[in-house]
């Protein structure tokens, strides 16, 4: 058995399930879940039609590099969205959702034979980053979020000695759970560190198309180009259809960036058996070629934020995120002692509302767990359910002790 498997911690939802075992919610209240970040809007009809109409492709082995129509559709979308022109043959690669690709990139680029080989992650973070690092034989260093900047990551918390050992940096922008978007100045700093120490930057951008303002979030490829780095040296971005098009079960996305990284990643994936099926490719082409359903999807999330935030502003420490579909809410100190886990238990027991305790999304680093005292609310349910959940939370917090 691989001894590194013992290093993996249970997934946050497994830990929470164990903590919530035995709690009996009020019988008269139906369950509303704001816990898991699983899109629940209807899948676009054109995507479903493309999937049905191309089932004949199941008779063929797909190529790991993907078909030309898919690669061209992705390249065209990147150009429309970011103004970046990619070589569809060498600078991008379809993947089976960003999750498996984020895991696999660590297995591709990490050299565990080097003393102190390190992966740097934001904190709180998507647990795949840590698992990928540990199974690649690396150490993990965490950069905590900064409450003073709406919980953007404080990259200055990583010291020079750690950067010198770093081989891979995971960046999530818009962030999970805070929704913070990295500005150009921070990209410039990270690119300079990458040039100095030679590490790869893996930019997780799966929430890039869910935003509240008219201006879409800055992307990593866009930032690189703006800084004169059109070769995207040591940069690889990860994008998914799951949130953009509400098709998490399709398992479709792409990676793009440094051609040398893409070449190595393709070699790894050829042996790993990570080819996308033809029917999924056809459905993905339909998704990447259409923006109307994306705008409609984004409008649904915007309506939820507009309805929910006024209900929670005066009872929780919560602000609108830059992007994404999460609220990163602080637990008042007088409620359950400010404990996020106790608050989540109380909401289930008293309101039948599921939320995710922030401490389960983070690790102790620099003497603190930066998720402690906060909960993540995923506004993925229907608008009426999100409003009802927020009203239940509000009523609970305003009720006499």
**83 Rama sector, left if φ>0, alpha if ψ -120 to 50, beta otherwise:** left
Q: What's the pLDDT at 90? A: 97
In CATH, what number does 3-42+293-398 get? 3.90.1150.10
- Whether residue 57 is predicted with pLDDT greater than 90 in this model: the reply is no
- Whether residue 20 is predicted with pLDDT greater than 90 in this model: the reply is no
Cα dist. 265→31, 173, 244, 259, 369 in Å? 42, 22, 24, 10, 33
pLDDT tens, position by position, 81-95: 999 999 999 999 999
pLDDT tens, position by position, 96-125: 998 999 999 999 999 999 999 999 999 999
- Whether residue 17 is predicted with pLDDT greater than 90 in this model: the reply is no
Domain ranges (residues) in the chain: 3-42+293-398, 45-290
pLDDT band at residue 267 under the 50/70/90 scheme: very high
- Whether residue 16 is predicted with pLDDT greater than 90 in this model: the reply is no
pLDDT tens, position by position, 187-213: 999 999 999 999 999 999 999 999 998
Record the pTM.
Answer: 0.95
Please compute the mean of the pLDDT values over residues 248-267 and round it to a whole number. Answer: 97
Q: Pick from 82, 27, 37: which is nearest to 203 by CA?
A: 82
**116 Rama sector, left if φ>0, alpha if ψ -120 to 50, beta otherwise:** left
Tokens coding 228: 């004169």
Distant-in-sequence, close-in-space partners of 273: CB < 8 Å, separation ≥ 6:
none
Q: Pick from 257, 157, 246, 154: which is nearest to 209 by CA?
A: 246
In CATH, what number does 45-290 get? 3.40.640.10
- Whether residue 38 is predicted with pLDDT greater than 90 in this model: the reply is no
pLDDT tens, position by position, 361-382: 999 999 999 999 999 999 999 9
Tokens coding 300: 């649904």
pLDDT tens, position by position, 322-335: 999 999 999 998 88
Taking each continuous run of H as one helix and of E as one strand, the counts in the chain are 14, 13
Max Cα–Cα distance, the chain, nearest Å: 64
DSSP label at 249?
G
């Amino acid at each position: 058995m691989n001894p590194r498997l013992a290093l993996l911690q249970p997934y946050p939802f497994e830990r929470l399930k164990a903590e919530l075992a035995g709690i009996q919610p009020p019988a008269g209240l139906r369950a509303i879940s704001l816990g898991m970040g699983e899109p629940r809007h209807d899948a676009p009809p054109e995507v479903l039609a493309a999937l049905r109409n191309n089932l004949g492709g199941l008779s063929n082995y797909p190529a790991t590099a993907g078909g030309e129509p898919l690669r061209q559709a992705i390249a065209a979308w990147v150009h429309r969205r970011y103004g970046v022109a990619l070589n569809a043959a060498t600078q991008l690669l379809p993947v089976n959702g960003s999750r498996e690709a984020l895991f696999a990139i660590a297995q591709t680029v990490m050299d565990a034979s080097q003393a102190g080989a390190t992966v740097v992650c934001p904190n709180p973070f998507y647990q795949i980053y840590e698992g990928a690092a540990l199974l690649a034989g690396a150490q993990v260093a965490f950069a905590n979020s900064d409450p003073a900047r709406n919980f953007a990551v404080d990259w200055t918390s990583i010291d020079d000695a750690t950067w010198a050992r770093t081989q891979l940096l995971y960046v999530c922008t818009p962030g999970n759970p805070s929704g913070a978007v990295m500005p150009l100045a921070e990209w410039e700093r990270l690119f300079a560190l990458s040039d100095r120490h030679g590490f790869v930057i893996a930019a997780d951008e799966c929430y890039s198309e869910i935003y509240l303002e008219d201006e879409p979030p800055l992307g990593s490829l866009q930032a690189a180009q703006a800084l004169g780095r059109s070769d995207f040296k040591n940069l690889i971005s990860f994008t998914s259809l799951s949130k953009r098009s509400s098709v998490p079960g399709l398992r479709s996305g792409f990676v793009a960036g440094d051609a040398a990284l893409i070449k190595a990643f393709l070699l790894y994936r050829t042996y790993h058996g990570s080819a996308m099926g033809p029917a999924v490719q056809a459905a993905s082409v339909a998704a990447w070629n259409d923006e109307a359903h994306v705008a409609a999807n984004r409008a649904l999330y915007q309506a939820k934020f507009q309805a929910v935030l006024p209900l929670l502003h005066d009872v929780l420490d919560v602000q609108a995120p830059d992007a994404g579909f999460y609220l990163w809410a602080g637990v008042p100190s007088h409620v359950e002692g400010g404990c996020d886990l106790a608050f989540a238990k109380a909401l289930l027991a008293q309101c039948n509302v599921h939320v995710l305790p922030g401490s389960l999304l983070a690790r102790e680093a620099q003497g603190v767990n930066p998720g402690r005292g906060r909960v993540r609310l995923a506004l993925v349910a229907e608008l009426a359910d999100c409003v009802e959940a927020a009203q239940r939370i509000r009523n609970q917090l305003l009720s006499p002790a």
